[in-house]
């Protein structure tokens, strides 16, 4: 059997996990909002029309922040359409997804939903078709206690207290030619700067995110970030990143190495942000908001321009396998490994659309395979992230070059003294023996190994078989005198909890 050796030591500290690393994303797209979160008439719906079966799963998933309302959708959105008496709200043509937007859910409804599931909103403003005025009015509507036109309107709509939304995205993917109101880096940088200034004049406590590139593959990647950040560095706190990953053809080896691509992408954006910091003689360091990431089989999506206009269409409802779950678990390892700079992460999206949670109109809801590594990492991956650097054989991939067979990271909860190791075995067919030197933790006496692996790496959950793929408890690892030994099954994601 191949083996992997690694050391967990409190001195190898990367940074503290910002809980917002475990965020998610709700867009007015397909069935994410309508029949996903919101379905009046569903047997589980509350008085406001929100499905409580979905809400329970969202709580279990553990998402402390949710980005809203887009995505591409936000670049054509008039937020004022979604406030006031529901019966008087307009039905609009959404050009991003060629859908009819009924506006039955708007800012006020979303805030109610966010409060019931116990999450914070990360609000995006429209810098495609709109700009400074709409953005500052939305901040006033949400965050000013009262005594002004927009804040009094919110109060008239039933929300006496301000929402105090802290994190705001200055537009979405403004580098993408598909975006309504697409801009050059210079055009966007100037608009983002002036919008940020006005928003901060309404509420100086905001935390603002400038749009980075839509992906590492954009032709303007790198120069987009440096131009935009040169214009906005002083007025923003984070730069955004978006990354979607999929298996191409039968090349599972490359797909399993997707986290190496995410590592490279983050390192490149950090380097670019720090270059702007140096040349601009800025003191503060920018954070990264990786506010869209997931496995997405984009090659199976015909593209939004080919869609028939419809209300609540089934769009991009990818079904995830064990292999996808292992990759999602590994992408979380990559985000944790960059906890010193990545402050916010948003699994895109939350319900039905490339999502960990699926729902049927009038019917059931269930957890996709990818739900499990996310929920476990969000629950147990809190504290101080420790670099572990596995010593293990490498393999060659077409997309990511040479990558190690095992990828891992550890998180130390200084309050409880517990340590959690997250590890992925990328070998398609063979287990790997894990040998961990625990050095400072000779006092740890118990270890629990939870794993996602299956004889069929294409196994999925669906409505008929919602628990076909679940995490399983393996035999407890051997723990003796500060040394831990466990076996990582082939093509697997593991969580080993030490206490």
Instruction: Give yes or no: 120 in active site.
Output: no
- List 109, 173, 225, 231, catalytic entry: 173
**Which tokens is 363 given?**
């019917």
Contacts 24+ apart (CB under 8 A), 197-203: 197/235, 198/132, 198/135, 198/136, 199/125, 199/135, 199/136, 199/139, 199/168, 200/235, 201/136, 202/136, 202/139, 202/140, 202/143, 202/144, 203/139, 203/143, 203/144
Instruction: Give yes or no: 225 in active site.
Output: no
Place of tokens 């730069």: 239
Tell whether residue 492 is a contact of ligand AHR (CB under 6 A): no
As a dihedral over the C-alpha atoms of residue 412, residue 415, residue 416, residue 418, rounded to 10 degrees, the angle is 10
Place of tokens 């054989």: 393
Tell whether residue 172 is a contact of ligand AHR (CB under 6 A): yes
Tell whether residue 101 is a contact of ligand AHR (CB under 6 A): no
| Min dist. Cβ of residue 481 to ligand AHR (A) | 48
| Min dist. Cβ of residue 303 to ligand AHR (A) | 11
Between residues 240 and 365, which has the closer beta carbon with respect to ligand AHR?
240
Between residues 151 and 240, which has the closer beta carbon with respect to ligand AHR?
240
Tell whether residue 72 is a contact of ligand AHR (CB under 6 A): yes
Query: Burial code of 461-489, b = ≥16 C-beta within 10 A, e = fewer?
Result: beeeeeeebebeebeebebeeeebebbbb
- Distance between alpha carbon 374 and the CA centroid of its chain, in Å? 10
Binding flags for ligand AHR, 282-321, as an x/- string (CB under 6 A): ----------x-----------------------------
Phi first, then psi: what are they for 57, rounded to 5°? Answer: -70, -35
Between residues 27 and 80, which has the closer beta carbon with respect to ligand AHR?
27
| Min dist. Cβ of residue 172 to ligand AHR (A) | 5
Pick the piece of the chain touching ligand AHR (CB under 6 A) from 53-61, 70-78, 384-392, 443-451: 70-78
Q: Is 88 helix (H, G, I), strand (E, B) or coil?
A: helix
Name residues contacting ligand AHR, limited to 188-247 (CB under 6 A): 214
Among 14, 117, 348, 411, binds ligand AHR (CB under 6 A): 348
| Min dist. Cβ of residue 242 to ligand AHR (A) | 6
Among 349, 352, 377, 384, binds ligand AHR (CB under 6 A): 349
- List 292, 308, 360, 399, catalytic entry: 292
Between residues 127 and 432, which has the closer beta carbon with respect to ligand AHR?
127
Tell whether residue 173 is a contact of ligand AHR (CB under 6 A): yes
For residue 349, cis peptide bond before it (omega within 30 degrees of 0): yes
Between residues 49 and 71, which has the closer beta carbon with respect to ligand AHR?
71
Pairing of strands 23-25, 342-348: parallel
Rg (C-alpha) for the chain, rounded Å, is 23
Binding flags for ligand AHR, 4-43, as an x/- string (CB under 6 A): -----------------------x----------------
Please state, in angstroms and as integers, the Cα–Cα distance from residue 48 to each residue in 107, 302, 333, following that order: 14, 35, 37
Pick the piece of the chain touching ligand AHR (CB under 6 A) from 64-72, 142-150, 385-393, 456-464: 64-72
Closest CA to 332 of 240, 247, 268, 407: 407
- Binding residues (CB under 6 A) for ligand AHR: these are 27, 70-72, 172-173, 214, 292, 348-349
Which residues are known catalytic residues?
Answer: 173, 292
């Amino acid at each position: 059997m191949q083996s992997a050796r690694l050391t967990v030591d409190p001195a190898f500290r990367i940074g503290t996990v910002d809980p917002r690393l475990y965020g998610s994303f709700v867009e007015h797209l397909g069935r994410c909002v309508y029949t996903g979160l919101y379905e009046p008439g569903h047997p589980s719906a509350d008085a406001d029309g929100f499905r409580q079966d979905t809400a329970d799963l969202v709580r279990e998933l553990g998402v402390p922040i949710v980005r809203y309302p887009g995505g591409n959708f936000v670049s054509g959105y008039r937020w004022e359409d979604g406030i006031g008496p529901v019966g008087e709200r307009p039905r609009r043509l959404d050009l991003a997804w060629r859908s009819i937007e009924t506006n039955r859910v708007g800012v006020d409804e979303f805030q109610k939903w966010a409060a019931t599931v116990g999450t914070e909103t990360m609000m995006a403003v429209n810098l495609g078709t709109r700009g400074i005025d709409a953005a500052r009015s939305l901040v006033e509507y949400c965050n000013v206690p009262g005594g002004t036109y927009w804040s009094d309107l919110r109060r008239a709509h039933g929300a006496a207290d301000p929402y105090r939304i802290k994190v705001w995205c200055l537009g979405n993917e403004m580098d993408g030619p598909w975006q309504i109101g697409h801009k050059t880096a210079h055009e966007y940088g100037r608009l983002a700067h002036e919008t940020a200034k006005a928003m901060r004049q309404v509420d100086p406590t905001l935390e603002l995110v400038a749009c980075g590139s839509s992906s590492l593959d954009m032709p303007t990647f790198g120069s987009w970030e440096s131009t935009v950040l040169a214009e906005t560095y002083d007025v923003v706190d984070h730069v955004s990143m978006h990354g979607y990953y999929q298996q191409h053809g039968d090349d599972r080896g490359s797909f399993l190495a997707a986290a190496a691509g995410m590592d490279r992408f983050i390192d490149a954006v950090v380097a670019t942000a720090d270059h702007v910091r140096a040349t601009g003689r800025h003191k503060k360091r920018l954070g990264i908001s990786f506010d869209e990431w997931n496995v997405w089989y984009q090659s199976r999506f015909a593209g939004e321009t080919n869609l028939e206009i419809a209300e609540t269409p089934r769009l991009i409802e990818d079904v995830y396998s064990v292999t996808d779950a292992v990759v999602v678990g590994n992408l979380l390892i990559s985000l944790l490994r960059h906890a010193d700079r990545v402050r916010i992460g948003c699994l895109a999206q939350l319900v039905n659309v490339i999502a960990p949670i699926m729902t049927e109109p009038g019917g059931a809801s269930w957890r996709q395979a990818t739900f499990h590594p996310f929920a476990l990492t969000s629950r147990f991956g809190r504290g101080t992230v420790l670099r572990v650097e596995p010593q293990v054989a490498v393999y060659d991939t077409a997309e990511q070059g040479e990558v190690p067979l095992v990828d891992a990271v550890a998180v130390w909860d200084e309050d409880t003294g517990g340590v959690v190791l997250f590890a992925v075995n990328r070998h398609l067919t063979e287990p790997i023996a894990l040998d961990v030197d625990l050095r400072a933790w000779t006092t740890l006496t118990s270890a629990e190994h939870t794993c996602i692996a299956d004889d069929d790496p294409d196994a999925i959950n669906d409505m008929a078989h919602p628990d076909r793929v679940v995490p399983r408890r393996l035999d407890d690892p051997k723990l003796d005198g500060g040394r831990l030994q466990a076996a990582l099954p082939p093509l697997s994601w593991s969580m080993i909890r030490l206490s």
